[in-house]
Amino acid sequence: MLSELPLFPVGASTIAPQVDALYLFMVGLALFFSVLIAGLIVYFAIRYRRRAPDEIGVAATGGLILETAWSVIPLVIVLFIFVWGAAVFFAMARPPADTLTIYVVGKQWMWKFQHAAGQQEINELHVPVGRPVKILMTSQDVIHDLFVPAFRVKADVLPGRYTTLWFEATRTGQYRLFCAEYCGTKHSGMTGWVYVMEPHEYQAWLAGGVTGSLASSGEKLFQDLACNTCHLPDTQGRGPMLHNLFGSTVLLATGEKVVADESYLRESILTPRARLTAGFEPLMPTFQGLVSEEDVLQLVEYIKTLKK
């Protein structure tokens, strides 16, 4: 039975060794201090046990040096840990420039992943090994949280906005995927598997049984929702031209500048008047309620492919 007793999780991402190193350092530190304190207590308790019923302890004097020492030393230690921990955290928070983006919508109680090539999967995620992957996440109802222990990453998935999480898998294999934020009755059933594959296997998998890419579904929606009546492939439309929009800096009517990232595109579709583009009338109707989060993701992916 002991062979079934795992004590340490496998690590399968570039960030995992960094987290583990920090963790093991902390374990060492914790061991040191607990053993120190426990050892001193036991030693003092035996050495200075009460030998006569009316015995009295010897009051100590002049503790200032000691007090300062044990205030300053822990302070230095924790500041060191802080810097180290923050460095790892920053590495987790900032995806590298060139990532493979996969979309996920969380809903009570399942994960729906969509690959740019059009593959959709539920509670399963296929990714290539050795390539940074960014997951762009949103929720249709309550807060969920995507957690892959083997990668040592997790991030909350919120309704009404995009959050991201990234990792680069280093080992092929099959790893557990959990929902880590309590989300209601079947929270513990909102689990699945991540399959890390060799790049060519991943390509083959992507090619299998797909009806159309995410962008092409988005394109279809773009026509069905009549977006193309205003957004023309040139500057003649009532709305701004969307080519080369993604990643560019947009000048707003208020004079502010924003980078057109996924969150901006999403907002432009759902609440167009919140941030008006300079030089345009607030003509665009809101599509809130008309499109699902998955539709929005398809539209976003389509707009991202519009290049000139």
Partner 1 sequence: MADAVASHHARHPALAHHFDDLGQQREAASLGMWVFLVTEVLFFGGLFLAYLVYRTWYPATFIEVSQHLDIFWGTTNTAVLITSSLTMALAVYAAETGDRRSLVFFLLATLTLGCVFLGIKALEYSHKFHEHLVPGAAFQWDGDHAERAALFMSLYFIMTGLHALHMIIGVGLMSVMTVLAWRGGFSPEYHVPVEVSGLYWHFVDIVWIFLFPLLYLISRH
Partner 2 sequence: MTEHVVPRSIYFLIFAILIVFTAITTTVAYLDLGVFGPVVALTIAVVKATLVILFFMHVRYSTRLTKLVVVGGFFWLGILLALTLSDYLTRGWRTYG
Partner 3 sequence: MKDYLNATYGLKSWLLTRDHKRIALLYLASVTLFFFVGGAFAVMVRLELATPPADLMQPETYNKMFTMHGVAMVFFFLIPAIPAVLGNWLIPVMIGARDLAFPKLNLASWYIFMLGGLFTLWAMVTGGVDTGWTFYTPYSSAFSNTHVVTAALGIFIAGFASILTGLNFIVTIHRMRAPGMTWFRLPLFVWSHYATSLIMVLGTPVIAITILLVAAERAFGLGLFDPARGGDPVLFQHLFWFYSHPAVYIMVLPAMGVVSELVAAFSRKPVFGYAFVAFASLAIAVIGFLVWGHHMFVSSQSVYAAMIFSVLSFLVAVPSAVKVFNWTATLYRGSISYDTPMLYAFGFIGLFTIGGLTGLFLATLGIDVHVTDTYFIVAHFHYIMFGGTIMGYLGGLHYWWPKMTGRLYPEGWAKLGALTIFLGFNLTFFPQFVLGYLGMPRRYAAYPEEFQVLNVMSSAGATILGAGYLIPMIYFIWSLRYGRIAGPNPWGAVGLEWTTPSPPPTDNFEKTPIVTQPAYAYHLLERA
Q: Does 174 help bind partner 1 (rule: CB under 8 A)?
A: no
Residues 211-250 that bind ligand HEC (CB under 6 A): 225-227, 229-231, 238-240, 242, 245, 250
The rounded distance, in Å, linking the Cα atoms of 131 and 16 is 15
CB 210 within 8 A of CB 118: yes
Q: Does 77 help bind ligand HEA (rule: CB under 6 A)?
A: yes
Interface with ligand CUA by CB under 6 A: which range of 64-72, 89-97, 181-189, 200-208?
Answer: 181-189
Cα 233–119–218 angle (5° rounding)?
Answer: 20
- Residue 201 or residue 261: which is nearer to partner 2 going by CB? 261
Residues 249-288 that bind partner 3 (CB under 8 A): none
Q: What is the identity of the amino acid at 45?
A: A
- Residue 233 or residue 282: which is nearer to partner 1 going by CB? 282
- Residue 174: phi, psi to the nearest 5? -120, 125
Sign of CA dihedral 66, 67, 71, 74: positive
The rounded distance, in Å, linking the Cα atoms of 102 and 202 is 13
Least Å from the CB of residue 229 to partner 3: 28
Q: Does 265 help bind ligand HEC (rule: CB under 6 A)?
A: yes
- Residue 179 or residue 303: which is nearer to partner 3 going by CB? 179
Residues 95-134 that bind ligand CUA (CB under 6 A): 106, 109
Interface with partner 2 by CB under 8 A: which range of 39-47, 95-103, 266-274, 299-307?
Answer: 95-103
Question: Which position among 121, 156, 201, 261 is part of the footprint of partner 2 (CB under 8 A)?
Answer: 261
Q: Does 66 help bind ligand HEA (rule: CB under 6 A)?
A: no
Residues 6-25 that bind partner 3 (CB under 8 A): 6-9, 18-19, 22-23
The rounded distance, in Å, linking the Cα atoms of 209 and 113 is 16
The rounded distance, in Å, linking the Cα atoms of 157 and 165 is 10
Q: Give the full edge-to-edge strand order of the sheet including 132-139.
A: 120-122, 110-115, 100-107, 132-139, 163-168
CB 217 within 8 A of CB 298: yes
Least Å from the CB of residue 28 to ligand HEA: 12
The rounded distance, in Å, linking the Cα atoms of 192 and 177 is 5
Question: Which of ligand CUA, partner 2, partner 1, none lies near 187, with the C-beta cut-off 5 to 8 A by kind?
Answer: ligand CUA
Closest CA to 170 of 146, 200, 197: 197
Interface with partner 2 by CB under 8 A: which range of 19-27, 92-100, 202-210, 277-285?
Answer: 92-100
CA dihedral (215, 221, 223, 227) in degrees, to 10, reads -100
The rounded distance, in Å, linking the Cα atoms of 108 and 165 is 20
Written as six digits, the tokens of 264 are 């901006």
Interface with ligand HEA by CB under 6 A: which range of 74-82, 90-98, 204-212, 231-239?
Answer: 74-82
Interface with ligand HEA by CB under 6 A: which range of 71-79, 97-105, 171-179, 297-305?
Answer: 71-79
Q: Does 26 help bind ligand HEA (rule: CB under 6 A)?
A: no
Instruction: Give the interface with partner 2 as residue ranges (CB under 8 A).
Output: 93-97, 99, 134, 136, 164, 259, 261-263
